[in-house]
Amino acid sequence: MRKSKEEAEKTRRRIVTSSAAEFRERGIVATGLNDLMRAAGLTHGGFYRHFDSKEQLVAEATDEAQAAVIKRMKDAAGRGRTKSRSHGGLAAAVGEYLSIRHRDDPRDGCPLAAMGSELARAGAKTRETATAGFQNLVEILASEFQGIKPDRAKKRALVTTATLVGALTISRIVNDPTLSKAILREAVDSIVSA
Amino acid sequence: MRKSKEEAEKTRRRIVTSSAAEFRERGIVATGLNDLMRAAGLTHGGFYRHFDSKEQLVAEATDEAQAAVIKRMKDAAGRGRTKSRSHGGLAAAVGEYLSIRHRDDPRDGCPLAAMGSELARAGAKTRETATAGFQNLVEILASEFQGIKPDRAKKRALVTTATLVGALTISRIVNDPTLSKAILREAVDSIVSA
DNA sequence: TGTACATCAGTGAACGCGCGTTCACTGATGTAC
DNA sequence: TGTACATCAGTGAACGCGCGTTCACTGATGTAC
C-alpha cells in the first residue's frame, strides 16, 4: 500500500485543496474529517499520516484559499488595467470580487467571506494566515488607487476590503435575490466612483 | 415539577436570550443544546418542551440579537443627534458599531458580524430574520444621511452597512491589535467624512 | 370552594450517530549491503 | 546489480465522547365538577 514520496506529496496537496473548497462551502466546524478525506478520494484513517490535527489542515487550507483569491484579484486588476481606463484595475478587481459568480461559488472564493465568523474563533496559525491574506488584498487594492499618497491609499484600501468582505457575506445571507444583487451592485458603484 | 405558564414563558425567554449570547460567542454549529440549556440554568432534556428543533432556536435567537443591535444603533444615533452637529447621529451610530467594546464583546453584539458566514448556510427562517435585521440597520443609517434624496440615502446605507459588518468581522479575525484598531478607525473616518 | 384528575415543565437516562483521534495491519517503496 | 529488511501511505476497525432527539418519570399547576 505504501506510495512513493512524490505520490504522497500529491495526495497531501489534494487533501489541502479539496478541504479548502469543502470548508468554504460547508463551514469549518460543520465539516468532519470523514467528509474531507472522502472529498479527496481517501478513507479517514490516513489523515494523520499527513497532518497533526484538523486545526493544522484548517490553517493550510485557509492559506491556499487566500492565495487563490489573491491571484484572482491580481489577474482581474491586470486585465482591467490594460483597458487603460482610469481606475480600470480597481474596477475590474472589485467587479470580480463582488460578482454573482463569486457569490454563488464559495468553494472557489474568498475565505474571509466564506468562513469569516469562524476564522475569528480559529487557532493562532489560522488567524495569522487570514491576517496575511487580508493584508495582501489591501495591498492589491491600494496599488490601484491612483493619484493619492501611498498611506492614504492604504487606509482607503483597508476600508474598501472591509466593504468587499461585508458585502459578499451579506449578499449570501440575504434571502431576497433583488436585494442581494443590489448590495453587490451598490458596493461596486460606491467604491469605483469614490 | 410542573411550572406555571408564566414561569414557563420566562424560562423560554431565558433560553432564547442566553442562547443568542452563546451562539454569537461560540458560533452556531459549535454550540450544542447541552451548552445552551446549561447556560440557561437547565438540563438538556427539557429543551423540546419549548422548541421544535435547534434550528427554531437559532432563528429566534438571531431575531432577538438583531432586535437588540437595532435598538443599540437607534439609541446611539439619538444621542448623537442631540449634539446637533452635522451628521451627529450617523457618527454616533457608526462609532458605536465599530467600537472596541463591540469588537471585544460579540455576546452582546451584531449577529451579522458574529455569525455571518454561518447565517449564509442557515435555515430559511433564520435567513429571513437576518435579512429583516439587515434591512432595519440600513434604514437606520439611511435616515441619518442628510441632504440627499431618500433613494440615494438608501443605496449609500446599503454599502455603509456592508462596510460595518465587514470591518467588525475582520477586526475580530486579525491577530495584530494595531491593524485591528486601524480597520475600525479608518472605517469610521471614511463613512463619517464621506 | 373543595376535590379529583389531566396536563405538562423540567429531569435524567437512553437512542443512534458522527466526531477527532489512535491503532494494527497491508504491501509497495526506499535503503543498506 | 541483487537481495534482505525497514519504512510508511493508506485501510478499516475501534476509542471515548458529545451531538440532536426521544422518552419514562416527577410533581406542581391548571381544569372540571
pLDDT digits (tens, 9 = 90+) for B136-156: 999 999 999 988 999 999 999
Report which residue type is found at B192: V
Which residue intervals of chain A are DSSP H helices?
A: 5-26, 33-39, 54-82, 88-97, 100-104, 111-114, 116-119, 124-142, 150-173, 177-192
The confidence score (pLDDT) of residue A9 equals: 92
Q: Is the pLDDT of residue B6 over 90?
A: no
Cβ burial of A83 (10 Å; 0-12, 13-18, 19+) is exposed
Which residues on A lie below 8 Å from B118 (Cβ)?
Answer: 27, 117-118
In chain A (194 residues long), the average pLDDT of successive 10-residue segments reads 81 97 98 97 95 97 98 97 79 98 98 98 98 98 93 97 98 98 98 91
* Residue indicated by cell numbers 491600494: A142
Written as nine digits, the cell of B11 is 424560562
pTM: 0.96
Q: Assess contact for A180 and A174: CB atoms under 8 A.
A: yes
Report which residue type is found at B91: A
Other C-beta atoms lying within 10 Å of the C-beta of residue A117: 26
Closest partner CB to A124 (pick from B124, B159, B175)? B175
The confidence score (pLDDT) of residue A112 equals: 98
Q: Is the pLDDT of residue B87 over 90?
A: no
Contact B169 A170 (CB under 8 A): no
The confidence score (pLDDT) of residue B84 equals: 61
In whole angstroms, what is the distance from residue B17 CA to residue A81 CA? 51
CA distances from A17 to A20, A38, A65, A151 (A): 5, 13, 8, 35
HSE toward the beta carbon, residue B90, CA cutoff 13 A: 25
The confidence score (pLDDT) of residue B85 equals: 65
Contact A173 B114 (CB under 8 A): no
Q: From the Cβ of A29, is strand D under 7 Å away?
A: no
- Closest C1' nucleotide to B45's CA: C11
Q: Measure, in angstroms, how far nucleotide C18 C1' is from residue A34 CA.
A: 9
- Where does the pLDDT of residue B4 fall: very low under 50, low under 70, confident under 90, or very high at 90 and above? confident
DSSP B4: -
Distance of residue A99 Cα from the nearest chain B Cα, in angstroms: 15
Q: Measure, in angstroms, how far nucleotide D3 C1' is from residue A1 CA.
A: 21
Q: Measured between CB atoms, does B183 come within 8 Å of chain A?
A: yes
Written as nine digits, the cell of B9 is 414563558
Contact B174 A29 (CB under 8 A): no
CA atoms B33, B38, B44, B48: torsion sign: negative
